[in-house]
Homo-oligomer: A and B are copies of this chain.
Amino acid sequence: LNEFSLIDNYFKCRNKSKTSQVKLSIGDDAAVVSCPPGHELVIATDTLVADVHFPATVGPADIGYKALAVNLSDLAAMGAEPSWALLNLTLPEFNDAWLNGFSDGLFELIDEYELNLAGGDTCRGPLNIGVTVAGWVPQNQALTRSGARVGDVVFVSGYLGDATMGLRLYCRDVASEISAEDKDYLLSRLHRPTPRVALGQRLLGLVTSCIDVSDGLMADAAHICEQSNVGMEIIIDNLPLSSAFKNASKDIDDLNLALAGGDDYELCFTCAKEQVGSIEKIAQGFDLPLAKIGMVNEQPDVRFIDANGDTWETPKKGYKHFD
């Protein structure tokens, strides 16, 4: 089995997308893609390394799924419609079972979003998975981190901390205390994050800034503040926590998981007060909670307060994956 038959057997043959924009896909020196008029290209890339981004024992289908999901999440944060992807796969060995599992997971999302796997590279070496995803956004409408304004309301989608709690369960096996249902839910949030692609596109024209929460809300909200030259006050009582998270949580310090654990892949965004009604309608339409968690103000940096407006002790910064 050489590089070319590997690409053919596990990837090229599964490429079902009829995306007319991809004029030339896997098999030439480069891919050729046409650009829809009135649109701009949005392109994101992320690398996954074993024992850095996922425990080395995670199954290949979950790895393939997550490698694409985290990139789609970046496109979601820009409000883009995904169209095609590239895969840079470095493998220690040609392992049929691993490759089948990996491509199963990868193509589950490729097929869901009708993407074309337009190209990539496969070589031998320590496992390293680089995925690049590209999509389209109407001209000058991409959501960025730099448009938040004083007085804006801060929202976050879904629930925070589930993936990190799932990682705690996965690594330390403290699952006996919680139900199998809660455990399954938390592990699925760890291994199969949901990129909020439809939500991101729906937010075009309504919000002033947007970011995907990959490093934890504390760090990612700070990115919006830095790039928008504003500050934020986040009400910790308003942070959206799932019932599974609460059931698995042991003490108040676990709130750090929800703020600094990362791997949430939810969207954090800001909008003018006048848009809050529109955002709340969107939440109903999507059956996805969109929590109002704070306000944008002038004082730099992100501060946390409780429901009474008292300052909440800043949680530990720099909580690392796989502590």
The bracket for how many chain A residues form the interface is 35 or more
Which residues of B lie under 8 Å from residue A154 when comparing CB positions?
none
Chain A facing B: main interface SS: strand
Are B212 and A121 in touch, CB under 8 angstroms?
no
Smallest CB–CB gap between A44 and chain B, Å?
A: 4
A87 (CB) vs chain B CBs: closest residue: B45
Are A29 and B41 in touch, CB under 8 angstroms?
no
Are B24 and A128 in touch, CB under 8 angstroms?
no
A123 within 8 A of B: yes
A217 within 8 A of B: no
A46 within 8 A of B: yes
Smallest CB–CB gap between A84 and chain B, Å?
A: 9
Which residues of B lie under 8 Å from residue A44 when comparing CB positions?
29-31, 119
Are A145 and B28 in touch, CB under 8 angstroms?
yes
Are B142 and A24 in touch, CB under 8 angstroms?
yes
Which residues of B lie under 8 Å from residue A142 when comparing CB positions?
23-24, 32
**Partner of A118 from B33, B40, B43 at Cβ < 8 Å:** B43
Are B35 and A41 in touch, CB under 8 angstroms?
yes
A36 (CB) vs chain B CBs: closest residue: B35
A135 (CB) vs chain B CBs: closest residue: B30
Smallest CB–CB gap between A118 and chain B, Å?
A: 7
A143 to B14, CA, bound (A): 25
A4 (CB) vs chain B CBs: closest residue: B223
Are B88 and A88 in touch, CB under 8 angstroms?
yes
**Partner of A86 from B28, B43, B121 at Cβ < 8 Å:** B43
Bitwise, A15-48 to B at CB < 8 A (1) or not (0) is 0000000011001111111110001111111110
Bitwise, A120-139 to B at CB < 8 A (1) or not (0) is 11011110101010000101
**30 interchain pairs, CB-CB under 8 A:** A24-B142, A28-B145, A28-B146, A29-B74, A29-B75, A29-B77, A30-B42, A30-B74, A30-B75, A31-B43, A31-B44, A32-B40, A32-B41, A32-B78, A32-B142, A33-B41, A33-B42, A34-B40, A35-B39, A35-B41, A45-B86, A45-B120, A47-B128, A47-B130, A49-B123, A52-B123, A53-B123, A86-B132, A90-B128, A125-B126
The 9 A-B residue pairs with the shortest CB-CB distance in the complex, in nearest-first order: A35-B35, A49-B125, A30-B44, A126-B126, A29-B77, A128-B128, A29-B74, A33-B41, A88-B130
A interface residues (Cβ-Cβ under 8 A, vs B):
23-24, 27-35, 39-47, 49-50, 52-53, 74-75, 77-78, 80, 86, 88, 90, 118-121, 123-126, 128, 130, 132, 137, 139, 142, 144-146, 210-212, 227
